[in-house]
Amino acid sequence: MNIHDTLKGAQRRWAETCANSDVGLWWIADDVRQFWPGASEDQIRLETLRAIRPLLNDGSLRAVNLLPGGSYQPWEGSVDEHLARIDAEWAALKRPPDLGDIVWFIGTR
């Protein structure tokens, strides 16, 4: 199996998981990190953004803030604005994202 097929499988799993649960950026980034062993954190950030773009575009993933009590606040703006925000906030962390950092994703509900 090549990296393209592996990534497509991961994208399907992320979308399926988000249909019933919330998923943090850190969880997706950890998957992407496994596909590119030895990649720099900058490369992982770029590949993660590239991997989530089609899922944000088709609505399989929606960027949200997790609020107290388990409710969600969807991010305002376009997919490009969401990706730019994730990119900037991740770069500002100067480390891999961890549980609760930057963004959560949910599916269509």
Per-residue pLDDT of 74-106, as tens digits, reads 999 999 999 999 999 999 999 999 998 999 999
Let me know if residue 38 belongs to a domain.
Answer: yes
Q: State mean pLDDT over 24-41.
A: 93
Beta carbons of 64 and 104 less than 8 angstroms apart: yes
Q: Which domain holds residue 72?
A: 3-99
Q: Determine, yes or no, domain membership for 15.
A: yes
Phi and psi based region of residue 78 (left: phi greater than 0; alpha: psi -120 to 50; beta: remaining): beta
Domain-embedded: residue 85: yes
* Tally of structural domains, the chain: 1
- pLDDT for the residue 53: 97
pLDDT surpasses 60 at 1 = no
Say if 105 falls within a structural domain.
no
